[in-house]
Amino acid sequence: MFHDQSEKYLKEAPPFEAAKLEDYQEAIGFNKLEKLKQLALPLENKVWAHVNSTYVGGGVAEMLKSLVPLAKGVGINAQWHCFEAHTEDFFYITKKFHDLIQGVEQPFDVDELHGVYIDNSIKNFENYYVKADLTIVHDPQPCATSVFGNYEGPKLWRCHIDTTSANKLIWNFFLPFINHYDGAIFTDKNFVKTGVRKPVYKVAPSIDPTSPKNKQLSESEARRILDPLFNKHNIDADRPIVLAVSRYDIHKNQATIIKAFKEIKKDKELQKKKPILVMVGNTATDDPDGLAMYGQMMEERENDTDIFLLMNIENNDENIGALMRVANQFVHISTKEGFGLVVTEALWQGTPVIGSNVGGISQQVINDETGFLVEPFDIDQIKKKMKYMLLNPKESRMIGKQGMEHVRENFLLPSLLEKYMVLMRYYLGIDKNQPYFKIG
Ligand code: UDP
């Protein structure tokens, strides 16, 4: 789905209500909340802008819709501006760049780079200004606006994707734009490639514990929420669920999950358990490949009635949270992953995770402590861990609980806001010391 083509320019998100800070106290405690308030004092009414390319779908939109209200809750004038596609092929091309940066080789040409991509960057700012005390520009889609946009005030490029094996030509194309920012933010220090000449910060994304998706649920609450979904798809609520949630995308490696599941369900010890695989995905406006990939997964599934491939489910947020709560295990074995908010969401519900040892997943899944780490194509290990969790639900849940505490400490929204406030204070000259998470 593209944005309405009649809307030709970058636009600002509809105003968000400020979040109530007290709503976060239960998740992070009184002391952390007070610290946030203190940090925010000199930032009252300062403008903090975000620029990205979609309001719906994917991790960035997911985070911004909570981060902007929370920043408002501490008194910051937070704004969210969304990039528009002017030509039908813009998001196809930026998705291609996204894949190339994540190491999927494919041909690209000058017209895509300098025609469509740069043209869209220029057009978005033809009648638009972003004036802020700090602007954060997210991901490759609007990256070139550092040169072609109208910004006033310091700006940082926030890279959410796994750049470890980026195609060299595409990376070199982006470098001058990246170096036109006042700094760059990466999720992991391994993502920082040579050629970045500006200060680099390491910041992990986060989830909002007060959002409908991340409300911590009791099992019975979760089952009540799921009733209509399970009825609609004829899912037997009593069978243990192996769960996977993400966009249908080549890097999410969903085919391997299906293969591994098909094999373990034949295992004699598991025949009585009768597990099912529930895979849920959605489409993002800036990701046009989803439907084709969904079709491929349907082929992979063949006509296995123990495998449920769902797409754009109704009551998405509550159902995702509830599924993560009731699942026996959550599997996320991407081949590349900027961070993987779905892993954070599953751990926050106390559900044990099998995660691949790539990108941001390994910050969250500490092997044998907060989950199990595997190599993305190591099907034997994946099967072994799936089986272990199905046979030992109580022990696995203990690991899930440790994961939950790891998330509480490191990956909840207030931690993210705290880091951004440190950055704002630094770029405004309020604090002279460099941010403690500066890595280059
Ligand atoms: N998501 C969702 N419904 C779906 C699939 C995904 O709400 O059917 C959400 C998911 O809960 C998470 C986000 O989309 O909050 C995906 O973020 P992640 O960092 O895992 O992956 P990305 O899509 O950014 O690569």
Which DSSP string do the residues of 307-347 spell out, in sequence order?
EEEEES-TTHHHHHHHHHHH-SEEEE--SS-S--HHHHHHH
Q: What is the pLDDT of residue 385?
A: 98
Phi-psi region of 235 (alpha: psi -120 to 50; beta: other; left: phi over 0): beta
Closest Cα partner for 24 from 416, 413, 419? 413
Q: Which atom, in ligand 1's list, is nearest to the CA of 317?
A: 7
Closest Cα partner for 422 from 39, 155, 138, 37? 39
Q: Residue with the nearest Cα to atom 23 of ligand 1?
A: 58
The answer to whether the Cα torsion of 284, 287, 292, 295 is positive or negative is negative
Closest Cα partner for 438 from 206, 185, 164? 185
Closest Cα partner for 51 from 138, 124, 165, 157? 138
Q: Which atom, in ligand 1's list, is nearest to the CA of 313?
A: 8
Determine whether the shortest distance from the Cβ of 316 to ligand 1 is under 6 A: yes
Q: How far is CA 34 from the centre of its chain?
A: 27
Q: Which atom, in ligand 1's list, is nearest to the CA of 311?
A: 8
Determine whether the shortest distance from the Cβ of 161 to ligand 1 is under 6 A: no
Q: What letter represents residue 280's amino acid?
A: V
Q: Take residue 406 and report the two structure tokens written for it.
A: 């790891």
Given ligand 1 and candidates 63, 342, 356, which is best to mutate, with the most ligand atoms within 8 Å of its CB? Answer: 342
Which DSSP string do the residues of 81-128 spell out, in sequence order?
EE----STTHHHHHHHHHHHHTT------HIIIIIIIHHHHHHHTTT-
**125 within 8 A of 148, measured Cβ to Cβ:** yes
**Cα distance between residue 222 and residue 323, in whole Å:** 7
Q: Which atom, in ligand 1's list, is nearest to the CA of 160?
A: 24
Distances (CA, A) of 31 to 70, 206, 280, 324: 17, 19, 37, 29
Task: Please give the distance, rounded to the nearest whole angstrom, from the Cα atom of residue 400 to the centre of ligand 1.
Answer: 20
**Cα distance between residue 283 and residue 277, in whole Å:** 20
Q: Residue with the nearest Cα to atom 17 of ligand 1?
A: 59
Determine whether the shortest distance from the Cβ of 324 to ligand 1 is under 6 A: no
Q: How far is CA 131 from the centre of its chain?
A: 27
The answer to whether the Cα torsion of 372, 375, 376, 382 is positive or negative is negative
Q: What is the pLDDT of residue 10?
A: 65
In the block, tokens 């609007």 appear at 142
**22 within 8 A of 107, measured Cβ to Cβ:** no
Q: Which atom, in ligand 1's list, is nearest to the CA of 213?
A: 11
* 3-state class percentages of the chain: helix first, strand second, coil last, to nearest 5: 45, 15, 40
Determine whether the shortest distance from the Cβ of 246 to ligand 1 is under 6 A: yes
Q: What is the pLDDT of residue 178?
A: 98
b/e map 208-231, b = 16+ CB within 10 Å = bbbbebbbebeeebbeebbeebbe
Task: Please give the distance, rounded to the nearest whole angstrom, from the Cα atom of residue 273 to the centre of ligand 1.
Answer: 29
**Cα distance between residue 42 and residue 276, in whole Å:** 52
Closest Cα partner for 412 from 22, 63, 11? 63
**140 within 8 A of 315, measured Cβ to Cβ:** no
User: Tens digit of pLDDT per residue, the chain (440 long)?
Assistant: 223 333 444 677 777 899 999 999 999 999 999 999 999 999 999 999 999 998 877 789 889 999 999 999 999 999 999 988 888 899 999 999 999 998 989 999 999 999 999 999 999 998 889 999 999 999 999 999 999 999 999 999 999 998 999 999 999 999 999 999 999 999 999 999 999 999 999 999 999 999 999 999 999 999 999 999 999 999 999 999 999 999 999 999 999 999 999 999 999 999 899 999 999 998 766 677 788 999 999 999 999 999 999 999 999 999 999 999 999 999 999 999 989 999 999 999 999 999 999 989 999 999 999 999 999 999 999 999 999 999 999 999 999 999 999 999 999 999 999 999 999 999 999 999 999 999 99
The answer to whether the Cα torsion of 274, 372, 208, 1 is positive or negative is negative
Q: What is the pLDDT of residue 289?
A: 79
Closest Cα partner for 47 from 16, 24, 68? 68
Q: Residue with the nearest Cα to atom 14 of ligand 1?
A: 58
User: C-alpha dihedral over 331, 335, 336, 337, to 10 degrees?
Assistant: 0
Task: Please give the distance, rounded to the nearest whole angstrom, from the Cα atom of residue 343 to the centre of ligand 1.
Answer: 10
In the block, tokens 């519900």 appear at 349
Q: Which helix (H) or strand (E) holds 399?
A: helix 393-410
Q: How many CB atoms lie within 10 A of CB 4?
A: 8
Q: What is the greatest pairwise CA distance in the chain?
A: 65
Q: Which atom, in ligand 1's list, is nearest to the CA of 251?
A: 25
Task: Please give the distance, rounded to the nearest whole angstrom, from the Cα atom of residue 152 to the centre of ligand 1.
Answer: 32
Report the residue count for the chain: 440
Task: Please give the distance, rounded to the nearest whole angstrom, from the Cα atom of residue 61 to the centre of ligand 1.
Answer: 9
Q: Which atom, in ligand 1's list, is nearest to the CA of 343?
A: 20
Q: Take residue 17 and report the two structure tokens written for it.
A: 């209500």
Determine whether the shortest distance from the Cβ of 280 to ligand 1 is under 6 A: yes
Determine whether the shortest distance from the Cβ of 245 to ligand 1 is under 6 A: yes
Q: Take residue 337 and report the two structure tokens written for it.
A: 């992953």
Q: Which helix (H) or strand (E) holds 228?
A: helix 219-232
Closest Cα partner for 328 from 285, 381, 254, 274? 274
Q: Which helix (H) or strand (E) holds 77?
A: strand 77-82
Closest Cα partner for 289 from 251, 324, 317? 251
Given ligand 1 and candidates 56, 62, 339, 407, which is best to mutate, with the most ligand atoms within 8 Å of its CB? Answer: 62
Residues 6+ apart with CB under 8 A from 212: 317, 318, 321
Q: How far is CA 344 from the centre of its chain?
A: 9
